[in-house]
Amino acid sequence: MRTFTLAIFALLGLSLAADHDLEIAAGIDDQAKAAYFVLSSEGYVFALNVAENGDVFYHMNAPASHSWMGVGFGGSMDNVRMLISYLGEDGHTLINSCRMSTGHTEPEWEEDCHIDNVYTDKYAPFSNTLSPDGIMIAHAVCRNCSNWATGSIDVKNQNQPFIYALGPNETLHSDHPNANLRQHSVYGTFNLDMTVATNYTGTYGRVPAPQDPGLQVGDSFWAFANYFSSTAYNTGTLDEWAPVAHAVFMCLAFLLIFPLGAISLRLTRRATFHAFAQMIGTAFVIIGLGLGVYASKLYNKSRNFNSAHQILGLFIFAALFLQMGLGLSHHLIFMRSGVPTIMGKIHRFFGLTIIILALINGGLGFNFAQDDHDNVPYGIVVAVMAVIFGVLSFFVWSYSRKHLYKPEKEGFVSQNYGDEPPAEYEMQGGTYVQTPRTPFFPDQLKSDPHDPEDFRSHLIRSQTGGKESLYTDTPASDRENPFKGKWEAVPLR
């Protein structure tokens, strides 16, 4: 039994000696303390070592299927410093960026926060690059990074909170430290024991070494955190719902509701359904605008509302209310006079212009959201809807043109309709004769030119004992209307 026990201790000693030899061969400094976190489900690893002067030496890696990776020094996104990494324009070099987060919006680049990349550690052969197995590896030191204006890392806290985030599966290649970031798809919180990750030796520090240097070949990213790792909590996934909802509401309004409302007026010749459809469309636009404003506040590039898509969108939104005013004014005047107005013609062509501008702005929106690939299906949908509504408009126009009643084209001839004449015909000498709604009076029948009223009104008063007719079958028959008499009936001569 004693021999067996001694053999076990001998094997353990050889194993420890082998591990120590591996550490020496890898250049690992056993005086540099470190704390580790690993999220195995996403292949994300973060490790740090903090020097007494505030320098933060850190290692971070994640699969390149995520457009970016990041960590924040706090329990939430409110007023915390973040370290963000993503691939450069060459698709191989890693860009490390120091940013400040002020809330649930895209963190802003801190120009006065300096990061030095570290390439000399033998245990990190793919530092600040994309490794052959598709892993982004950040290996750097953030100078005087543990303290900032609104907070700091508590180096004596055994449960210092951190947040992590991983970008969506999108392509992001930029050399700028303030590159635009899409909203994270994976996020969570973890704690680290800072008492085992802080060096109280002035400026000395070291990027954390692998816990198992034997795994650094082939699976080097896992060598940094295989055991004694913090666990994650408050984890979750997130989709960019606001930009998607914004696009859906706007497309429904300008591709379906507004065109359908315009055609309904020609098809039914009733303004009620037209007005109802346009009100629904306007409500969709208002909701879409609200979603667009909310989404704009999430990202640095859209926060100031100075892009072409946003400027044109606000112009279209204001033009909609001008369009509503033109349509309402035309309708009220037409109901009183029965005569088409210039505002009606402007309303018709201005509405078509607004729809065309909105469809163009939709393409600008996809470009602005870095979803250029969506322009192809969007263009196809626009083309299909344009053909559908174009054909439908042509058939409505053709039908209306054939069935539109035009009394001026009918002759005033005697017709024998028996005892049941149409409403627009009157009896005269035993036969029914069509009479125009507004009889024509030659110039010679007019009364004294100094008389403000025409001969028609004079004739009505002379035959009704000085009283005006109560016949009010038109909107223009108000007592105050100076043209009232022209619309009223007169006895047949």
Task: Name the residue among 196, 233, 199, 195 with its Cα closest to residue 211.
Answer: 196
Task: Name the residue among 278, 115, 107, 105 with its Cα closest to residue 178.
Answer: 107
Q: Which residues contact 437 (CB under 8 A, 6 or more apart)?
A: 407, 424
- Listed by start position, the domains of the chain span 26-237, 242-403, 437-487
Pairing of strands 94-102, 108-109: antiparallel
Residues of the chain with pLDDT under 70: 1-32, 210-232, 234-238, 402-493
Q: Is the distance from CB of 351 to CB of 262 less than 8 angstroms?
A: yes
CATH top class, domain 242-403: mainly alpha
Give the distance from CA 379 to its chain's centroid.
18
Specify the pLDDT at position 12. Answer: 39
CA distance 270 to 128: 68
CA distance 58 to 298: 28
Q: The tokens 């315009």 sit on which residue?
A: 262
User: 381-418 as b/e, with b when 16 or more CB fall inside 10 Å?
Assistant: ebeebeeebeeeeeebeeeeeeeeeeeeeeeeeeeeee
Tens-place pLDDT, residues 230-263? 666 766 666 778 888 999 999 999 999 999 888 8
Q: Residue 96 — φ and ψ, nearest 5°?
A: -105, 130
Specify the pLDDT at position 213. Answer: 46
Q: Residue 369 — φ and ψ, nearest 5°?
A: -85, 5
Q: Is the distance from CB of 225 to CB of 140 less than 8 angstroms?
A: no
Q: Which residues contact 4 (CB under 8 A, 6 or more apart)?
A: none
Specify the pLDDT at position 24. Answer: 53
Specify the pLDDT at position 223. Answer: 53
CA distance 98 to 93: 17
Which secondary-structure segment (H or E) carries 459?
A: helix 455-463
Distances in whole angstroms, Cα of residue 251 to Cα of each of 255, 288, 295, 296, 470: 5, 9, 17, 18, 51
CATH superfamily of 26-237: Cellobiose dehydrogenase, cytochrome domain (2.60.40.1210)
pTM of the predicted model as reported, rounded to 2 decimal places = 0.66
Q: How many C-beta neighbours within 10 Å does residue 229 have?
A: 20
Tens-place pLDDT, residues 4-20? 444 443 443 433 343 55
CA distance 367 to 239: 19
Specify the pLDDT at position 84. Answer: 95
